[in-house]
Amino acid sequence: MSRLGDVAAEANEAAIHAVEKPRGRVRWIVCGLLFAAVVLSYIDRLVLGVLKPQLTALYGWTNQGYGDVTGYFQVCYGLGFLGFGWLIDRYGARVGYLIAMGTWTAGHFAQTLVTSTTGFAIARIPLALGEAGTYPSALAAASQWFPKKERALAIGIFNAGANVGAIVTPLLVSFLVAGLLLDWRWAFIITGLFNLVWLAAWWVFYRKPAEHPRLTPEERAYIEAEPVEEVGRAGFGRVLRYRQTWAYMAARFLIDPVWWTFLFWLPDFFSKQYGYDLKSFGPPLVLIYILADVGAIVGGWYSSHLLKRGVATGRARKRAMFFCALFALPVMFAGQASNIWIAVALIGMACAAHQGFSTNVFALPGDSFPRYAQGTLIGLGGFAGAVGGFIASKSLGVLLDTVGSYGPFFVACGLAYLVALLVTHLINPRYADVKMSPPA
């Protein structure tokens, strides 16, 4: 009897070991595709920001006009979030990403047909609507392919694609327009062609874990070790009943505007404050987004590390967010920096803090909600962030045309993360799981 017990214990231990260390890395290939998609989405949305000083000189744009372009992009982006939440819950990440990138690629190419701020605002509507599907699709795929203890790390990796895209864009656009002396329209055409390659790779490779032919039994068991939840979709009304929803939306409303404004306005800041142009502001932007890349991965790793040590999920996420918020504070002094590299260091720390903070915010839907409600929640959060971004972009355009200083904006950026953490903690202090009945 004792021998049978020993054999059973050994078999159970072996099974646990197999689940903990699976043979096969298909889930990380999926993560790599998600990373590449985020890179491409950020390249496509940032080409205009890099070209902004040149287009302003060519066509006489005002700050308020450019603020309209970026502001209305964010409104459409937020509306797209609401729609893609439903679409991805209904059709899945595979079809959702194909529709998303196909739509935004059409809008990306359409920008070559216009020159005014009004024209760009209109042409970028499909770009915004399609790019709204990037994170809902990626988060849905991560929820399918990664158990909770790896999910924040996976999110941190593909979220770092935003920073890689931000690094590549000024270098690539500078090379094409200032180096090869191509017309500015070629920056949109060449970057748009990369999307077609990714679309083919995604269609060929991506499947659900249960349907993927290259997945080993060990890796499938590891992925499916957590209980399988009901499928379906929870409507906006049901999801809005929970305090966790409002905490997530509040965090996105408060922190997303900081990131959006950095993305769209930093080239203009370097041009006005330090006289940098298309040929010279590439290295400062590259350094900023390298730091942001590190922040995304470290932020995800730190909370995952705490979870593996047995720290409660809510405490692990909030502890990581608190340290990130502290690193954002020095950016309040960036507007008064005596030289560009001091400003770059301060802004780079803030971008790293943002990415680490947002990685843990993005983990909340998967941590607290059943899968059939996550798409709805992600859509609501994206909409809240886009509304905050619209307000920030319009306000900054007016501020620059009237006051002529970025100083108040940087002060708001430095305080945003501590305020966001305080608000989300007050709304959702226990970080408890949401208990809701599955949809009919």
- The verdict on residue 438 lying in a domain is no
- The verdict on residue 8 lying in a domain is no
- The verdict on residue 285 lying in a domain is yes
Torsion over CA: 189, 192, 197, 199 (sign): negative
In the numeric block, the tokens 């595979």 are attached to: 94
Percentage of the chain exceeding pLDDT 70: 92
Q: What is the 3-state secondary structure (H, E, C) of the chain?
A: CHHHHHHHHHHHHHHHHHHHCCCCCHHHHHHHHHHHHHHHHHHHHHHHHHHHHHHHHHHCCCHHHHHHHHHHHHHHHHHHHHHHHHHHHHHHHHHHHHHHHHHHHHHHHHHHHCCCHHHHHHHHHHHHHHHCCHHHHHHHHHHHHCCHHHHHHHHHHHHCHHHHHHHHHHHHHHHHHHHCCCCCHHHHHHHHHHHHHHHHHHHHHCCCHHHCCCCCHHHHHHHCCCCCCCCCCCCHHHHCCCHHHHHHHHHHHHHHHHHHHHHHHHHHHHHHHHCCCCCCCHHHHHHHHHHHHHHHHHHHHHHHHHHHCCCCHHHHHHHHHHHHHHHHHHHHHHHHCCCHHHHHHHHHHHHHHHHHHHHHHHCHHHHHCCHHHHHHHHHHHHHHHHHHHHHHHHHHHHHHHHCCCCHHHHHHHHHHHHHHHHHHHHHCCCCCCCCCCCCC
Residue 341: which domain range?
Answer: 24-223+230-427
- pLDDT-derived band at 1 (thresholds 50, 70, 90) equals very low
What tens digit of pLDDT does each residue of 348-402 get?
Answer: 999 999 999 999 998 899 899 987 888 788 888 888 999 999 999 999 999 998 8
Q: Are 171 and 282 in contact (CB under 8 A)?
A: yes
In the numeric block, the tokens 């971004």 are attached to: 389
Mean pLDDT of 152-165: 83
What tens digit of pLDDT does each residue of 48-66 get?
Answer: 999 999 999 999 999 999 9
Is the pLDDT at 413 greater than 90? The verdict is yes
Please give the structure tokens belonging to residue 183: 């017309």
Q: What is the pLDDT of residue 273?
A: 92
Mean pLDDT of 239-245: 95
- pLDDT-derived band at 24 (thresholds 50, 70, 90) equals low
Compute the distance between CA of residue 314 and CA of residue 98 in angstroms, rounded to an integer.
Answer: 34
**147 closest CA partner among 43, 92, 75, 219:** 219
One-letter amino acid at 266 equals L
Q: What is the pLDDT of residue 232?
A: 62
Residue 312: how many other CB atoms lie within 10 Å: 12
Compute the distance between CA of residue 266 and CA of residue 385 in angstroms, rounded to an integer.
Answer: 19
What tens digit of pLDDT does each residue of 92-119 get?
Answer: 889 999 999 999 999 999 999 999 999 9
- The verdict on residue 270 lying in a domain is yes
- pLDDT-derived band at 422 (thresholds 50, 70, 90) equals very high
Mean pLDDT of 69-90: 86
- The verdict on residue 209 lying in a domain is yes
Is the pLDDT at 342 greater than 90? The verdict is yes
- pLDDT-derived band at 23 (thresholds 50, 70, 90) equals low
What tens digit of pLDDT does each residue of 203-232 get?
Answer: 999 988 888 888 888 888 888 887 655 556
Q: Are 86 and 233 in contact (CB under 8 A)?
A: yes
Compute the distance between CA of residue 411 and CA of residue 268 in angstroms, rounded to an integer.
Answer: 18
Residue 37: how many other CB atoms lie within 10 Å: 27
Average of per-residue pLDDT values in the chain: 88
Compute the distance between CA of residue 135 and CA of residue 31 in angstroms, rounded to an integer.
Answer: 13
Specify the number of domains making up the chain.
1
Compute the distance between CA of residue 44 and CA of residue 48 in angstroms, rounded to an integer.
Answer: 8
Q: What is the pLDDT of residue 21?
A: 58
Compute the distance between CA of residue 440 and CA of residue 435 in angstroms, rounded to an integer.
Answer: 15
Q: What is the pLDDT of residue 357?
A: 96
- pLDDT-derived band at 10 (thresholds 50, 70, 90) equals very low
Mean pLDDT of 259-273: 91
Half-sphere exposure of 314 (CA within 13 A, CB side): 16
Q: Are 415 and 423 in contact (CB under 8 A)?
A: no
Backbone dihedral region for residue 92 (phi beyond 0: left; psi -120 to 50: alpha; all else: beta): left
Report the CATH number at residue 32: 1.20.1250.20
Q: What is the pLDDT of residue 350?
A: 97
- The verdict on residue 18 lying in a domain is no
Residue 309: how many other CB atoms lie within 10 Å: 8
Which residues fall within 8 angstroms of residue 130, CB to CB, at 6 or more apart? 80, 99, 100, 101, 102, 103, 104, 105, 106, 107
Q: What is the pLDDT of residue 297?
A: 85
- pLDDT-derived band at 257 (thresholds 50, 70, 90) equals very high
Q: What is the pLDDT of residue 2?
A: 34
Percentage of the chain exceeding pLDDT 90: 59
- The verdict on residue 13 lying in a domain is no
Backbone dihedral region for residue 370 (phi beyond 0: left; psi -120 to 50: alpha; all else: beta): beta
- The verdict on residue 9 lying in a domain is no
Residue 209: how many other CB atoms lie within 10 Å: 17
Mean pLDDT of 332-358: 95
pLDDT: which is higher, 31 or 166:
31
